[in-house]
Amino acid sequence: MTAPAAASDPAAWPALPLDAWADTCATLHLWTQIIGKIRLAHAPLINHWWQVPLYVTARGLSTSLVPYGSRSFQIDFDFCAQELVIRASDGALDTMPLRPRSVADFYTEVMGRLSALGLETHIWAMPSEIDDAIPFDQDTKHAQYDADYAHRFWRVLVQVDRLLFQFRARFVGKVSPVHFFWGSFDMAVTRFSGRTAPKLTSKSPNLGDWVMQEAYSHEVSSCGFWPGNGGFGQAAFYAYAYPEPEGFGAVKIAPAAAYYDQALGQFILPYDAVRTAASPDDAVLDFLQATYAAAADLGHWDRAALERR
């Protein structure tokens, strides 16, 4: 039996250069949007859209249980077996391979398989939060899929999930689940001060203003990880505050590789700096704690009441 990789073992933190899998990343992003929108079509609204993300599993990503009348179902990306798995609470089961194929082909087959299982679903077929988006059922442009890099991405998400859970456990105030947002294709966890926030005025492609205003209805300190798609170009951990308190971007943040990106309005810790650090766990947790402390102190949060002693 092979011993589990230690958190500081390079095997636990594989290289993930975006330029090596950018096309696969774009395709997988769209596939996750299709599956996420299926969940969205059936799950009742929860504050800040907490009913729509996916969750990291021991084999990939999952919708978790989705209600469908008196039945329920879930859809899983299995990046070990390279399959999409649909399971229903009455024992119905179907699988389809994850392989190079167009978004249009993936969309058509998923919808057909759901219908055959008696789980017919209708979604808005326009991708969200993506510039120059192509409707799913018309997208033959995005068709690349490198199984090795999809598997690597999931392995990174396993580490991210573990550390975000540790960080979340330090907070006793209102805090989101640790979850994967398919709109922006990132892992995230968000802490709340308990106060309402000014109405958000920024816009995202193919997303109503009210959607983002619901997400940011209250003051937050948010952090997470994303592979760098959308023009940034490299995998990174990130952290931001909304509303951003005065002086937030000027705070010196540990570790030394972390910096404030003016264009993004976020603190960034490059993934490569983490995976090559003497202790990747310490690098990530120090970054998360330092960025939260900057947001909470400058935003005058009641830290004594909100944090676990």
Report pLDDT digits (tens) over 157-168.
999 999 999 999
* Global pTM value: 0.95
Structure tokens at 253: 């943040």
Nearest by Cα to 64 from 171, 6, 72: 72
Residue positions counted in the chain: 309
Whole-number pLDDT of residue 4: 52
Task: Tell me if 221 sits within 8 A of 300, measured CB to CB.
Answer: no
> Binning pLDDT at 50, 70 and 90, where does residue 6 land?
low
- Tell me, what's the pLDDT at 204? 87
Please, are residues 298 and 247 in contact by the beta-carbon 8 Å criterion? yes
Residue 294 pLDDT exceeds 70: yes
Q: In sequence order, which residues have a C-beta less than 8 Å from that of residue 85 and are 6 or more positions away?
A: 75, 76, 78, 93, 94, 95
Q: What is the pLDDT of residue 8?
A: 58
Rg (C-alpha) for the chain, rounded Å, is: 19
**Which pLDDT tens digit goes with each residue over 137-177?**
999 999 999 999 999 999 999 999 999 999 999 999 999 99
- Concatenated DSSP letters of 263-281: TTTEEEEEHHHHHTSS-HH
- 7: pLDDT strictly greater than 60: no
Residue pair 243/219 in contact (Cβ under 8 Å)? The answer is: yes
Q: What confidence tens digit (pLDDT) does each residue in 27-72 have?
A: 999 999 999 999 999 999 999 999 999 999 999 999 999 999 999 9
The tokens of 175 are what? 């805090």
SS3 54: strand
259 Rama sector, left if φ>0, alpha if ψ -120 to 50, beta otherwise:
beta
